[in-house]
Amino acid sequence: QVQLVESGGGLVQPGGSLTLSCRATGTIYAVIAMGWYRQAPGKQRELVATVNRGGGINYGDFVKGRFVISRDNANNVVNLQMNSLEPEDTAVYYCHSHLYQTWRSRDFLELWGQGTQVTVGQ
């Protein structure tokens, strides 16, 4: 069974930093893209950052240079370094991936992690 295992959430003061990490585990043929979304109470889930297998990166508009996403293709890991955190960044952060379990096109999967809470406050 393929799953996404997240770590690194927690409580941080405004202006502080946190790093989130996510590893895809199980039988995997190829990871196409990995990234992070977030959802604050009462709001829709939104893109934080994604990186594809070739290294192409997309960031949400609100990131404004504060976050850096990186990927370890060999280990199917994606990291999100978050700097200059603001109270508005408080949300549940979800790891997301598109991958193939085998070479067959029908074994294409879209996966979500269980979510990790990030709280920015005193």
Reported as a single tens digit per residue, the pLDDT across 68-82 is 999 999 999 999 999
Which alpha helices (DSSP H) does the chain contain, by range?
none
Cα(18)–Cα(117) distance, integer angstroms: 11
Q: pLDDT tens per residue, the chain (122 residues)?
A: 899 999 999 999 999 999 999 999 999 999 999 999 999 999 999 999 999 989 999 999 999 999 999 999 999 999 999 999 999 999 999 999 999 999 988 899 999 999 999 999 98
What per-residue confidence (pLDDT) applies to 122?
83
What per-residue confidence (pLDDT) applies to 80?
98
- DSSP readout, 62-104? TTTTSEEEEEEGGGTEEEEEE-S--GGG-EEEEEEEEEESSSS
What per-residue confidence (pLDDT) applies to 4?
97
Q: Which two tokens stand for residue 53?
A: 């297998």
What per-residue confidence (pLDDT) applies to 87?
97
What per-residue confidence (pLDDT) applies to 113?
97
What per-residue confidence (pLDDT) applies to 72?
93
